[in-house]
């Protein structure tokens, strides 16, 4: 593959929410490059990390990381110009630059990470960051290899037998890359300042899986032609019935289209076509409709709050939830809740 270089414009496109990354404690609380090296390796991969300045660490390194069910996400700023060489990775990995520039290599590809260009690394290929600017902050996202390949296998309807080879440079200032960045924003907003439990944990895992499937659909890779191939044989009606029954039975599960394709016993693309032909909507649109119906039922009981009920059923964005609810039921969720409370009064 030919080498690629990303643009060098500045100006972050991803705004971090006030959560564990910005408000949490700095794990490198003193300007100690050895501490920075050990902390970064502890969260991600064993790597050779070298300071490229005579007085390393004097500008204040920062690391704040969260370990989630399927991903590890860390805010990383070296505080001194540095190089990082982890060798061949055992996982898939994405770096999203928030400030500055980071020269990045994976196999025979080279790119410059910047706020407008993320970098996507593939396993079993030599990876290095030979020049990481001192003030260049990145979100480093480690994706579990087995889950990425299982997600792709479910989309294709067959096992993935060789590692996925991603294009290194991923523009995130428009198009599919920008849409993927919005998924990352949603996940960051859901993380909060502590580990999620119960329904919140399910929602975080759903967003992680959406981030993985979104990466597979957004970024060029060695299976992309097959994944985006022309129309395939639609799934039979009995397979669609199984999917609908499952959604109705357990609408609170963190489904992705890959999960539903596995239930149907077909590829994700075939399932999408079959759903569109039979129901006029996608599988995930049906999931959302069923969840909205359950929200409506719970609100009509007149107990709880709108935000609690919406969060339980996986709606984390209040304004988008309210808009979707009004489109379906011709009133806002607060009105349904108030009607339910009135009906419960003696």
* 3-state SS track over 25-73: CCCCCCCCHHHHHHHHHHHCCCCEEEECCCCCCCCCCEEEEEECCCEEE
316: enclosing H helix or E strand = none
Q: Quick check: 85 and 106 in contact, CB under 8 A?
A: no
Domains in the chain, CATH or no CATH each? 1-229 (2.60.120.10), 287-344 (1.10.10.60)
Token pair listed for 68:
């989630």
Report the distance separating Cα 78 and Cα 134, nearest Å: 6
Instruction: Mark the ranges of the chain whose per-residue pLDDT is less than 50.
Output: 1-11, 193-196
pLDDT in tens, 298-323: 999 988 899 889 888 888 778 889 99
pLDDT at 270: 82
Residue 229's pLDDT is what? Answer: 73
Q: What is the pLDDT of residues 14-57, one digit of tens each?
A: 666 555 676 678 899 888 889 999 999 999 999 999 999 877 65
């Amino acid at each position: 593959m030919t080498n690629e270089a990303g643009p060098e414009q500045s100006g972050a496109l991803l705004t971090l929410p006030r959560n564990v990354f910005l408000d949490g404690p700095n794990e490198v609380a003193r300007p100690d490059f050895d501490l920075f090296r050990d902390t970064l390796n502890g969260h991600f991969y064993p790597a050779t990390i070298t300071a490229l300045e005579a007085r390393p660490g004097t500008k204040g390194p920062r690391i704040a990381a969260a370990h989630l069910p399927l991903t590890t996400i860390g805010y990383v700023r070296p505080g001194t110009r540095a190089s990082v060489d982890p060798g061949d990775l055992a996982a898939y990995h994405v770096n999203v630059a928030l400030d500055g520039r980071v020269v990045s290599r994976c196999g025979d590809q080279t790119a410059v990470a910047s706020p407008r260009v993320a970098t996507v690394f593939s396993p079993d290929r030599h990876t290095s960051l030979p020049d990481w600017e001192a003030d260049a902050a990145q979100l480093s996202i480690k994706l579990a290899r087995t889950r990425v390949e299982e997600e792709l296998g479910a989309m294709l309807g067959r096992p993935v037998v060789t590692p996925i080879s991603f294009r290194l440079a991923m523009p995130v200032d428009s198009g599919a890359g920008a849409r993927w960045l919005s998924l990352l924003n949603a996940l960051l907003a859901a993380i909060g300042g502590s580990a999620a439990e119960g329904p919140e944990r399910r929602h975080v895992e759903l967003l992680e899986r959406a981030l993985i499937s979104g990466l597979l659909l957004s970024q060029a890779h060695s299976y992309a032609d097959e994944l985006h191939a022309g129309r395939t044989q639609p799934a039979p009606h009995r397979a669609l019935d199984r999917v609908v029954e499952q959604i109705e039975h357990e609408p609170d599960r963190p489904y992705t289209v890959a999960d539903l394709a596995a239930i149907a016993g077909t590829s994700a693309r075939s399932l999408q076509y079959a759903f569109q032909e039979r129901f006029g909507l996608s599988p995930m649109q049906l999931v959302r409709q069923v969840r909205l119906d359950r929200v409506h039922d719970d609100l009509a009981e007149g107990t709880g709050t709108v935000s609690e009920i919406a969060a339980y059923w996986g709606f984390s964005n209040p304004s988008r939830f309210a808009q979707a609810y009004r489109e379906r039921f011709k009133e806002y969720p607060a009105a349904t809740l108030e009607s339910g409370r009135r009906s419960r009064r003696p």
